[in-house]
Amino acid sequence: MKGCQPVIAVKGLANRFGEAVIHEDLDLTVCRGEILGVVGGSGTGKSVLMRSIIGLQTPAAGEIEVLGENMIGREEDEAKNIRRRWGILFQNGALFSTLTVAENVEVPIREYFPYLKPPLLDEIASYKIAMGGLPADAGPKYPAELSGGMIKRAGLARALALDPELLFLDEPTAGLDPISAAAFDELIVSLQKRLDLTVFLITHDLDTLYAICDRVAVIADRKVIAVGTIPELLALDHPWIQEYFNGPRGRAAADTAKEHAQA
Ligand SMILES: Nc1ncnc2c1ncn2[C@@H]1O[C@H](COP(=O)(O)OP(=O)(O)OP(=O)(O)O)[C@@H](O)[C@H]1O
């Protein structure tokens, strides 16, 4: 991408579990300010890639830089300083079930700013809950009292708790109805613009790819086989890419995106 300032730079990444080789010589660059979609068939290693980037999975080989910092082999206190610069929304929201939404949002704030007093913590949590697009009365609720869409929004509010520069989203619209999914997509775009975020977004949702991603990285054959805009990807004749974007679901998503552009 022209003028790309790399926020994530992965080079020669290899991941293996026993005999199973998940990644081999995988390269990927995510540029500042973009929403990069990551797609690939089930089990191609999208989550393992994200886990490697955020330091939850030690790769067998390769280099990973995030926000200009080498991520491999860092001491815990150094890694902690880098971690506070990003937010993560895990696939199922990963909220603590025994804590309210507000308390969940406060977890990372308490970790990094243990001296903050409850009134200020509550104020910050309310602000983040509103940023996640939840009503104020969601704060005292427990995750079990929330709908799937609200859980994602609460997870997003927590991911935004420390004013991140970079956001990782693992299948944020999975399990949402199409209207809630579209609303969540809009929220991501508006947050990305307002907060000048870089977004690494794993998804199977073709509507999301068309609606909000600047570029899409395709994982197949253990590596990133292509990165580009959807028109750029459509010009490639890789069978998975063609089937994915030109299959019935891909064409329907393209039509929906066209209708939105004309409306
Ligand atoms: N901790 C682990 N131990 C052993 N195998 C693992 C581990 N984590 C992931 N795998 C394997 O690595 C492969 C890639 O998993 P991953 O969850 O990254 O796939 P994915 O592309 O995110 O899939 P999906 O789209 O279905 O979520 C799978 O075969 C999975 O079983």
Per-residue pLDDT of the chain in tens (263 residues, 90 and over written 9): 778 999 999 999 999 999 999 999 999 999 999 999 999 999 999 999 999 999 888 999 999 999 998 888 888 888 888 889 999 998 876 889 999 999 999 999 999 888 988 889 999 999 999 999 999 899 999 999 998 889 999 999 999 999 999 999 999 888 888 888 899 999 999 999 999 999 999 998 888 998 899 999 999 999 999 999 999 998 998 888 888 888 778 777 777 877 777 77
Rounded Cα–Cα distance for residues 229 and 128 (Å): 31
- Specify the pLDDT at position 194: 93
Atom of ligand 1 nearest to the CA of 44: 21
Backbone dihedral region for residue 222 (phi beyond 0: left; psi -120 to 50: alpha; all else: beta): left
pTM confidence score = 0.93
Amino acid at 171: E
Amino acid at 115: Y
Determine the residue of 46, 52, 58, 173 to mutate for testing ligand 1's pocket, defined as the one with the most ligand atoms within 8 A of the Cβ atom.
46
- Specify the pLDDT at position 255: 79
CA of 47 to the centre of ligand 1 (A): 7
Architecture of domain 1-82+175-263: 3-Layer(aba) Sandwich (3.40)
**Residue positions counted in the chain:** 263
Determine the residue of 15, 16, 22, 56 to mutate for testing ligand 1's pocket, defined as the one with the most ligand atoms within 8 A of the Cβ atom.
22
Domain parsing of the chain, residue ranges: 1-82+175-263, 86-163
- Specify the pLDDT at position 164: 95
CB of 47 closer than 6 angstroms to any ligand 1 atom: yes
Q: Are 136 and 102 in contact (CB under 8 A)?
A: no
Task: Classify each residue of 91-126 as buried b or exposed e, where b means 16 or more C-beta atoms within 10 Å of its C-beta.
Answer: bebebeeeebbbbbbbebbeeeeeeeeeeebbebbb
Question: Which stretches of the chain are assigned E, i.e. beta strand?
Answer: 6-17, 20-31, 35-40, 61-66, 69-70, 86-89, 166-170, 198-202, 215-220, 223-228
CA of 42 to the centre of ligand 1 (A): 8
CB of 42 closer than 6 angstroms to any ligand 1 atom: yes
Atom of ligand 1 nearest to the CA of 202: 22
**Residue entry with tokens 């830089």:** 65
**Residue entry with tokens 């991520």:** 71
